[in-house]
Amino acid sequence: MAVISRITMQKRNKDRLNIYVSSGGKESFGFAVDQDVFVKYNLSKGLEIDEQQIKELVEEDEKKKTINLGLHYLSYRMRTVKEMTDYLEKKERQPEHIKAAIEKFKELGYLDDSSFASTYVRSKSATQIKGPLKLKQELTQKGVNKIVTEEAIDQFKEEDEIALIQKWVDKQTKKTARESMSAQKQKLFQQLRGKGFSSSLIQEVLEKMEPQEETDEQQALSYQAAKLERKYASKYTGKEYRIKMKQALYQKGFSIQSIEFYLDEHDREDVE
């Protein structure tokens, strides 16, 4: 049987106490505990303590460490149960302590996947251009189950999705026209699909896009043609050059009529 002979506060962590014990007239470091554990077990100088009690105190302190790590992780933002589990496992906390910490956080309302999913959808849809399919994927990756995810995604109304699609389209089309209308629409479609919006709603918005001004389409054609000229001028001549240019520009979404007009206007001397 040992006796608690001295109690000191750790210099680097004021919430932890070093407990020294004396046995056979010799003092030695016994263990360290969180202040909450210290108070819970009513520790004090002169208290007799045996090895089994010390083990119990150390075990309780490890649980407290796990809880404190979890609270620190929660201090930055809301978390899912999976995120918390993964984090504590990464910190090499004991499985039983992780389970106990998570149950405690659930009881306190600190961990709630349903609340997390609902808040996540509202926040992301309000601050970022992300569609329901992308948000569903992200919630799944964060460990939110299918039913809870679907309930959260149901907040995302069709009109909200259309508004976000339109916002992205307006933002992109304000840039200097360097592509054909056809190429722009194809590019916008792929971008919006990648952001998790439904194909049908994307098409609905793109179909309402106002056609480019003729001068914008001509500028885009001139820009793309100039790039291709640098690529093909040293490789091809005559009809072969013209064919290559027509094929490349057509693939970029320009009409045959516009391409023919451009090539006629910029006819090279070596074209047969």
Longest dimension (CA), the chain: 110
For position 158, what pLDDT does the model report?
92
| Distance (Å) of CA 170 to CA 165, 180, 207 | 9, 16, 13
Q: Report CA-CA distances (Å) from 99 to 57, 104, 106.
A: 19, 9, 11
Q: What is the pTM of this model?
A: 0.70
pLDDT for the residue 267? 67
Distance, CA of 104 to chain centre:
27
CA distance linking residue 125 with residue 129, whole number of Å: 7
**Residue partners of 49: CB distance under 8 A and separation at least 6:** 1, 2, 3, 4, 21, 30
**To the nearest whole number, what is the mean pLDDT of the chain?**
87
pLDDT of residue 269: 45
Low-confidence ranges of the chain (pLDDT < 50): 213-214, 269-272
Q: Measured between alpha carbons, how far is 88 from 115 in angstroms, rounded to an integer?
A: 21
Q: What pLDDT sits at residue 212?
A: 52
pLDDT score, position 252: 75
Inter-residue contact 18 to 32 (CB < 8 Å)? yes
CA distance 102 to 65: 13
